[in-house]
Structure 1
Amino acid sequence: MIDKIFKAIEDYETIIIHRHVRPDPDAIGSQGGLAYLIKDNYPGKQVYIVGEEVPSLAFLNRMDRIEDSVYQGALVIVCDTANQERVSDKRYTMGDKLIKIDHHPNVDPYGDIMLVNTNASSVSEMIVGLYEARPDFRMSNEAARLLYAGIVGDTGRFLFSNTTPETLKKAAVLVQKDFDRQLLHDKLYESTLKLSRLEGYVLQNFTLNEYGVGCMKITLDIMKSFSVEPEEAALLVNAFSNVENIKAWVFFIEEKDQIRVRLRSKGTVVNTIAKRYGGGGHPNAAGATIYSWEETEEVLNDLNHACESVSTEI
């Protein structure tokens, strides 16, 4: 499959790279890191990255603005996106050939070529693997910076259980490049004053029940009082993850016409719950969308049942 990906990259002069909506560091990092890697080694090709801009991650990379006509005869690559409905910029189907590169469960197979590795911590880790598969390839400092950001983001600074020996080997390849890791870490985890104020509110108001399930409901009114947007509030999903006896937790974040559900756990499988509500993700980190506060109680009940038999003992 890796050979097919390189063959496609070599065959096309125009390459457009997409990723998922509401991007995180891995989405931005793998998308931009792959773009730089291609440009580093095929300088004559036209490579574009597209999707909505996210102010909090603009320091990593900025998106290109391209006309529909650019897709004609182009290769399109989608990074870090399990489901087609989550692809940012729906023009991804307008190219000549489509490649999917992802590390989520392959619940929605799409594309002419698929490279899916659920054992990888991140798609950024997978892109480093592509680089290593070609000993003749070079990697710029900027490509390394973006890929490192993606790995750090999806592993929680190498603290999450998805950090494997292979992850650390890939990160070791990247840190040999010349970029400011301290500055990158500082920017990745920098918080605005208003978001810090909201975090204090979350820590004072989240609930933790007898099943070890933590819950926080953030309404539009709460966000308005702190001058915070939903995508900013979503950054606080792990705000109380270190509280003793917690097994799993859920963030409900109200938007104009829907409620985002962000599920996390320390062992309880939560992507099966997300799937019941049209979502998905990893076993310990998943998301979905619901449309009423009544449904939040259903999600909570499902999470309670899932956590009943899970032990928090080490």
Structure 2
Amino acid sequence: MPKEFDFDKEFENMMTSNKLDTVVLLGHINPDGDAAGSVMGLAHYIKVNYPQYEVLPYLADTIDKGPNKIIKTDKVFNPFEKPNVEGKKFAVIVCDNAVIVRMAGREYYEAATASMVIDHHASNEGYGNINYTKVSEACAENVFYILDKNSLEKATTLELHPTAADYIYLGIIQDTGGLARAKESTLYAVMTLQGIGVKHSDIMKTMHNDMLESLQKKALLLNKAFCVLDGKVAYVCVDQKESKEKEIRYEDIHPIAEILRDCEDIELSFTMYEEAENKWRCSFRSDGEWIDVNELLTPFGGGGHAAAAGLKKTTDDVEKLREAIFERIKDLRE
């Protein structure tokens, strides 16, 4: 398939025209598998194919448990250490991050001489000196398609696991629910990556992270689910008092929206979690067709994809916020 964006050409031009020898790679806060896979895949690709540059990937240490299984075995990078760029001019590449305020390591972006953004969110702000945003199932899928395949194979054969290809595969698997939401382009990407050495079974281990305690927490949370709007919408809400009493973390409640969305009788699901007093973090899931959750959340300051989006809101009246969301759902459905 032809490339719509030539990463190698754009990257070399950015580095040479600005006379830079260092590049920092960033993702979003609370990085998921797609952010981690995109950042680390590009980091390994650049390190092998452009040894003249210092490569410094950075991921916040609040990363999801699954992708961390692979990152902690990385023999080249420790992306949880903040890069030391004191006295240097450098470029920044940002992956899987739609809006600047959600960027992990934003201070590096603001201090960079040049910047490139690679994303897949419809809500991308268009920031950066170079911005390649294409709506797709995973940012890592976009990364796969913009790279030179011979150079990607080189980066895979010259390093031990995890390689650039392993990380890109990780991002695709994580953001498509283990290929449950894969399209033809997604399947072509994973087949090609398998062809150059990625072991599907190894990467799939990052999808399975439950222990008995976490399953018990899920059962507790699912028992709290409410159904509204003719039973088509389900939600779970946990305030700070309950989260402390029952030791419920955001990592416990985050998967619940996806579990509920996958129920045959549920069209839209969401979770509401009070991280700090009056500070709510919400996750929304749908099939992207019954309702576009990115469009749903735009008036509230949230966003993401048609089928998966998030919202952070400061409010002392979560009931009022929830009712406003219900009204917005009704308006969009009409």
TM-score by length of 1: 0.88
Q: Is the 8 A contact 1:195 1:233 kept in 2?
A: no
Supply the distance in 2 between the matched residues of 1:9 and 1:31 (Cα, whole angstroms). 18
How far is 1:70 from its partner?
Answer: 4.2
- Among residues 81, 85, 88, which one is paired with 1:69 in the alignment? 85
Cα displacement (A) at 1:9:
4.9
2:139 is the alignment partner of 1:98: no
The Cα of 1:196 is off from its aligned counterpart by: 1.4
Paired with 1:90 and 1:66, the residues of 2 have a C-alpha distance of: 12
Q: Is residue 214 from structure 1 mapped to residue 234 from structure 2 by the alignment?
A: yes
Q: Residues 71 and 95 of structure 1 are in contact (CA less than 8 Å); yes or no, is this contact kept in structure 2?
A: no
Moved more, 265-274 or 4-13: 4-13
Cα offset for 1:226?
4.0
Alignment of 1:252 with 2:272, yes or no, is yes
Contact 1:71–1:94 (CA under 8 A) maintained in structure 2: no
Q: Is the 8 A contact 1:25 1:154 kept in 2?
A: yes
User: 1:1-314 alignment to 2 at 5 Å?
Assistant: 1-2=5-6, 3-9=9-15, 12-54=20-62, 56=65, 57-61=67-71, 62-66=78-82, 69-70=85-86, 72-91=88-107, 92-118=109-135, 120-132=136-148, 135-137=150-152, 138-140=154-156, 141=161, 142-160=163-181, 163-209=182-228, 210=230, 212-257=232-277, 258-266=279-287, 267=289, 268-292=291-315, 293=318, 294-307=320-333
- For residue 167 of structure 1, report the CA deviation from its aligned partner: 1.1
Question: What residue ranges of structure 1 are gaps of 5+ in the alignment?
Answer: 310-314
Percent sequence identity is 22
- What is the CA distance between 1:139 and its match in structure 2? 2.8
CA distance in 2, matches of 1:109, 1:234: 28
Task: Map Cα deviations across residues 264-313 of structure 1 (whole Å, 9 max, x no partner).
Answer: 11221111121111111111211111223131221233224434x5xxxx
TM-score by length of 2: 0.84
SS in 2 for 1:255: strand
> What is the number of residues matched between the two proteins?
304
Deviations 1:78-127 (A, max 9, x none): 00001000101121211110111101115411111011111x22111111
Out of 64-73 and 214-223, give the one that drifted further.
64-73
Contact residue 5 and residue 113 of structure 1 kept, 8 A: no
Distance 1:194 1:70 in 2: 44
Structure 2 residue runs of 5 or longer lacking an equivalent are: 72-77
**Could you tell me whether the CA contact under 8 Å between 1:22 and 1:54 is conserved in 2?**
yes
Does the 8 A contact of 2:58 with 2:83 survive in 1? Answer: no
